Amino acid sequence: MRPFLWLATLACSLSVLGSTAFAQDYPAKTIRLVVPFAPGGAPDIVARGIAQQLGTRLGQSVVVENKLGAGGNIAYEAVAKSPADGYTLIFATTGIATNMSLFKARRYDTLKDFSPVTQVTSGPHVLVANKTVSAKNVRELVAYAKANPSKLSYGSSGNGTILHLAGELFNHKAGVELLHVPYKGASLAQTDLVGGSIQLMFSDVASALPYINAGTLRPLAVTGKRRMPLLPDVPTIAESGVPQYDIEAWFGILAPAGTPQPIVDRLNREIRATLAAPELQQRLDGLGQVVVGSSPKEFSDFLRVEVAKMAEIVKASGIAVE
C-alpha cells in the first residue's frame, strides 16, 4: 500500500510541477478571444479594447474572433471544446447563463465546461418609450398597460435575448401584458421605436442616449439595482413601483474547463489590470458599463446565481427557443 501511495503522491506532484512550468512559459503564441456577436456592438467594442491592452501586458497578440449564430451557442460550444491551454477564450455575455434554460439542444454546460476567469463589467438597460406614449413614468405605464392588455408593444433584438427577457420580467413582476416584437438586431428595433411602429424598448444605454438627449425617446426607468451616472435623474424600475425588478447585462471572460489554474490566475491578474487603464475606463463609461474585475471564484459563484435567476425568468415567461 505504501509504494502505491508514494507513486500517487509523486504523480500528483509531477502534474502540479508540469502545470506550473507550462504556466511560466505562457503565453508563447497568439491568444484568441472569441466574441459571439457581430463587430461593432457593445460586446465587440469592449472585447477589442481589452484585447489590445491585454496583448501589450502579455507580450503576445490577443486576436478578437467574431463567431456568430444560434444565440451565441456556436461560439460557446466551440470554445468549450477547445484545448484547455489558455490560448482560446470566450468573451461571454448574459446569454451564456440564459441559454442553459432556453436551448435544450445546446452541447455545452455553462457551469461544467468552462473555467471562469473574471467578470468584466455589468450595466443596466434603460426602458424607453416613443414620445407618443402618454405615460411619463413606470407607474403610469403600468396603470395604462393593465387597463389595455397587449395594446403596448416592446421591441427586442430577438427571442431569448437579454432585451426580450427584460420585458418578460417586467410583465411578470408588474402583472401586465406588453406585446413582444422580436427583431433581427437591436438597431432594427430601435429604428421602429423611433418611427412609432412599436412603443417601448429595453435598450442599451449607449444606443438610446442620443435619442434621449434629442427628446425623441423618453426614458422611464433603468433596469438595475441603482441609478446610472449617465442618467442620474432616471429612477430604477424597482423604485418606480415594481418591487424586486433587477436585470442587467454583463460581460465576462472564460476559458475551457481544465485550463491550468496558474494560467487562469495570470489572465485574471492581467485583465483586471487592463480594466484600470484610463482609456478603457472612458470607453466603458460611454457604454454605460461599470467595471467589475472579479476573482475566478467570485465569477464562478456569480454564474451559478445568474443561471438560476435566468431559469426562473424563462420558466415564468414560458419562452421557448428551438
What is the per-residue pLDDT across 17-39, written as a single tens digit (0 to 9) for each? 555 555 679 999 999 999 998 88
**Cell numbers representing residue 22 in the block:** 507550462
- pLDDT band of residue 317 (cuts 50, 70, 90) is confident
Mean pLDDT of 233-241: 97
Name the pTM for this structure. 0.85
Name the residue with cell 450595466.
Answer: 123
CA angle, 81 then 186 then 179, to 5°: 110
The Cα 57–Cα 54 span in angstroms is 5
Q: What is the mean pLDDT of residues 182-193?
A: 90
* 86, 265 contact by CB (below 8 A): no
Ordered by where they begin, the domains of the chain are 30-123+249-317 (3.40.190.150), 124-240 (3.40.190.10)
State the greatest distance between any 2 C-alpha atoms of the chain, in Å, as a whole number.
Answer: 81
User: Contact at 8 Å (CB) between 65 and 47?
Assistant: no
**For residues 110-127, average pLDDT:** 97
105 against 76, higher pLDDT: 76
Would you say 190 and 201 are in contact if contact means Cβ atoms under 8 Å apart? yes
pLDDT at 2 over 70: no
Amino acid at 188: L
Cβ–Cβ contacts within 10 Å for residue 318, how many? 7
Give the C-alpha separation, 98 to 241, whole Å.
26
